[in-house]
Amino acid sequence: MKIVFQNKTNDIGGEVLLVSVNPKNKDEIVKENEAKTLYLKCDEASKMNLRKLYLLVRKMVVMSKSTKTEKFAFNFNDFLFNPEGKQASYGAGNIKISKEELGEIIGSQLDFANYEFVEYKTPTEEGFSFIKEIIILGVDKEIEKAILKGHTIAEEVNKTRTLANTPGGDMTPKILAEKAKEAVKNLPIKVSVLGEKEMEKQNMRAILSVGRGSDEESKFIIMEYSGGKKIEKPIVLVGKGVTFDAGGINLKPSSSLLGMNMDMSGGAAVIHTIVLAAKMKLKKNIIGLIPSVENMASGKSYRPGDVIRSMSGKTIEVLNTDAEGRVILADALTYAQKYKPEVVIDIATLTGAAAVALGERMSALFTDDDILAKKIEDAGEKTGDYVWRLPLWEEFENEIKGSLSDLTNVHNKDSRYGGAIYGAIFLHQFIKDYKWAHIDMAPRMVAMAGENLTTGAVGAPVRLLYKFIEEYK
């Protein structure tokens, strides 16, 4: 999608749809001579907030696409919602944003809403309905720069969505590793991939145990971006990379198998967050670690009742083979210690229980560091990748103590309560002497109705992670 900046409305040709954002009773298209104007209904300035702003920008794209136009134009000033020209106040906690920050938001949401996964569809004679050009009026050079920054952010979010949307047969651990290498082409990012023999030498038996049931070789993807000073400790991102999750011996029911190609969404988010950081030349050191496996049922699969010795030396009693994400992340979190990190954030579609607890509008956040939690929450509010913090109390550790082992990979009494918490408290056992947070993004794996987004993956939480890294001090 091309973004063009112009100063005057009369420079726009008649084939371009003009969009006007004003508080009105309804959305409507008005035709005057040869020109069409789409009027978008929105709240009055006093009722607008950041959450509504995201939806409004996306609606502008979605409704323009519905008219079969390939080009539309709008005035940036329509989105200020502040006739005095001062900084507008949006969102929870009275967050204030500048015009440049508004430009970044608009630039990202335009591409975000224009995306659709069509790689496996046969185009009709008319072709697919995409906006090919957007003309933006009323911006200066600084806002132009901010809008184009948002455009770049959205490009990487959308590439994350494409990785996640790809069917499992075309997105194995080996292919995911290849995609990581392709994504960093011409960028100062080093990608290394450990195969099963290399992981065996590293004693990464938790990862190897989960992947054993598949014919596809498990991989451990390492991405290293050194944008900061050599003495600066890195931020480490750890992404779950289960390219298909059948549940293993504890096979998922048929209705739950669809969509399990997206169980590598956390890994995809890590890949493109680091790519984005490199493209934006952030002066930070960032490491990405992605344990990638298929969790399949076969005669070679790890079994309920097996005891695994992880890379850390701690043993894990497998009570449910479908709780595999935390098992592979255990080795990845242990490996992260080699980098003496400043902070580690793991991102995983870990539990359906997180969605049961929170619904589908936010990811679950776990950390024992209040300052880190606040920084992540603020990054989520600013970017639209919302999170909500859940408890990580020491008392929960009692329910993952094993009878045959150090730990169990699910609640040791087979309780159906608090599943997201027990997944997080399990991961916490593999953390040492560094700041850590766990984002259970299962609630945000796919778009929900009313978000003005196409169906499928949403690319969470790339925007949050990038903003967090950009602002981290």
Q: What is the pLDDT of residues 310-323, one digit of tens each?
A: 999 999 999 999 99
Q: Which residue has the higher pLDDT, 12 or 269?
A: 269
Question: What number is the average pLDDT over the span 338-347?
Answer: 98
The alpha carbon torsion through 58, 61, 64, 69 (nearest 10 deg) reads -170
Q: Do 266 and 241 touch, CB atoms closer than 8 A?
A: yes
Determine the length of the chain: 473
E strand or H helix at 133: strand 133-137
Check residue 85 and give its pLDDT. 43
Q: Do 214 and 234 touch, CB atoms closer than 8 A?
A: no
CA 253/CA 354 separation, integer angstroms: 19
Mean pLDDT computed over every residue of the chain = 94
Phi, psi dihedrals of residue 38, rounded to the nearest 5°: -100, 115
Q: In a 3-state reduction of DSSP, which class is residue 252?
A: coil
Q: What is the pLDDT of residues 387-401, one digit of tens each?
A: 999 999 999 999 999
- Around Cβ 427, how many Cβ atoms within 10 Å? 24
Beta-bridge mates of residue 192: 222
pLDDT beyond 60 at 86: no
Q: In a 3-state reduction of DSSP, which class is residue 272?
A: helix
pLDDT band, residue 91 (cuts 50/70/90) = very low
Q: What is the pLDDT of residues 426-446, one digit of tens each?
A: 999 999 989 999 999 999 999
Check residue 158 and give its pLDDT. 98
pLDDT band, residue 93 (cuts 50/70/90) = very low
Q: Do 76 and 138 touch, CB atoms closer than 8 A?
A: yes
Task: Give the class (CATH, top level) of 171-471.
Answer: alpha beta
pLDDT beyond 60 at 194: yes
Q: Which of 442, 407, 449, 456 is nearest to 428 (CA)?
A: 407
CA 359/CA 451 separation, integer angstroms: 14
Q: What is the pLDDT of residues 199-244, one digit of tens each?
A: 999 999 999 999 999 999 999 999 999 999 999 999 999 999 999 9
Query: What percent of the chain has a predicted confidence (pLDDT) above 90?
Result: 84
Residues 6+ apart with CB under 8 A from 394: none
Specify the CATH architecture of the domain 2-150.
Answer: 3-Layer(aba) Sandwich (3.40)
Check residue 10 and give its pLDDT. 63
Check residue 82 and give its pLDDT. 59
What are the start-end ranges of the E strands in 52-116? 71-75, 88-90, 95-97
Check residue 165 and give its pLDDT. 98
Residues 6+ apart with CB under 8 A from 254: none
Q: Structure pTM? A: 0.96
Check residue 13 and give its pLDDT. 65
pLDDT band, residue 97 (cuts 50/70/90) = confident
Spans of all domains in the chain: 2-150, 171-471
Check residue 26 and give its pLDDT. 85
Q: What is the pLDDT of residues 235-265, one digit of tens each?
A: 999 999 999 999 999 999 999 999 999 999 9
Active-site amino acid positions: 252, 326
